[in-house]
Amino acid sequence: MHQTGFVLSGGGARGFAHLGILHYMNEQGITPDIISGVSAGAIAGVFIAAGIAPLEAHKILSKGGFLKYTKMQLPTTGLLRLDGLKELLAKEIPYKNLEELPVPFYAATTNLTKGRVEHFDKGPIEKVVMASSSIPVLFSPIEINTCQYVDGGVLNNLPLEPLEGKCKQVITINIHPVNETGKLKNLTQVAMRTFHLGVNRQVEEIKKKSTLYIEPKELYKYDLLKAGKADEIFELGYNYAKSIDMGCLK
């Protein structure tokens, strides 16, 4: 039984808010004993699980814009490949497999082949995190053991299930609030908005199961694919965490 588990949602470039929130909590002595993340939450979470401080992880991930981690390709199974993310994880994470991480970590993925959500806590870090982050249409699926995998948020953007019965308290961070939007201008925006709406259907149920549920509403103002305001998003997360009453935590 772990003391504190963290659930980190997906949300593209808004993932820097995860690191701001975690940085504040770290200052208060609240650290995860186990983590479950998906997409941007899997990227942020694997750095924390590897023992890298939230502020340091932010510095590493914010060095380049969104396109730094992607490469264009002929649009057969996706518009982009996450080659840059693979290289970054290989360079910065000093472990090869999830089971080697100092903090137990789960990454949620969607198995396209079998049509189900799968939570990995073992296997190659780069492949699993890339799979968890591969937004359909935008990114090509990742193949693991003959199956094709995409973003876990397709079926579960708040992957609390792997932590149920394993933690005394669960802190859930949702960086994907839904808000009214303006006119969508291109295929990428339509794909992202459709994906965005689909991943928030479980929020009320997850709130009931969480000791503390965190959702900075102002994040809706930030584009999911533009990391140019990484520092601003990090600060938003940090300041939002400061405003929360954490008296429910042990």
28-68: per-residue pLDDT in tens? Answer: 999 999 999 999 999 999 999 999 999 999 999 887 544 44
Range of lowest pLDDT (100-109, 113-122, 225-234): 225-234
| Average pLDDT, integer, range 210-223 | 90
Range of lowest pLDDT (92-96, 128-132, 204-208): 204-208
Of 215, 198, 197, 194, the closest CA to residue 206 belongs to 215
- Environment class of residue 180 by beta-carbon count within 10 Å: exposed (0-12), middle (13-18) or buried (19+)? exposed
Tell me the pLDDT tens digit for each residue of 116-165. 999 999 999 999 999 998 888 778 889 999 999 999 988 889 999 999 99
Can you give 199-220 as a three-state secondary structure string?
Answer: CCCCHHHHHHHCCEEECCHHHH
Q: How far is C-alpha 177 from the geometric centre of its chain's CA atoms?
A: 14
C-beta of residue 141 within 8 angstroms of C-beta of residue 76 = no
Q: What is the rounded end-to-end Cα distance, in angstroms, of the chain?
A: 14
Report the C-alpha gap between 225 and 212 in whole angstroms.
Answer: 27
Q: Radius of gyration (Cα) for the chain, nearest Å?
A: 16
Most confident of 159-163, 174-178, 185-189: 159-163
Of 125, 139, 148, the closest CA to residue 66 belongs to 139
- pLDDT tops 80 at residue 206: yes
Task: Give me the chain's average pLDDT, please.
Answer: 86
pLDDT the model gives residue 214: 96
Helix residue spans in the chain (DSSP H): 16-27, 40-49, 54-61, 83-92, 125-133, 187-198, 203-209, 230-242
Tell how strand 105-111 and strand 34-37 pair up: parallel
User: Predicted confidence band at 96 (pLDDT cuts at 50, 70, 90)?
Assistant: very high
Which has the higher per-residue pLDDT, 161 or 223? 161
Conformation bin of residue 170: beta by default, left when phi > 0, alpha when psi is -120 to 50: beta
| Average pLDDT, integer, range 193-216 | 80
Share of the chain above pLDDT 90, in %: 59
Name the residue with tokens 């405003």.
243
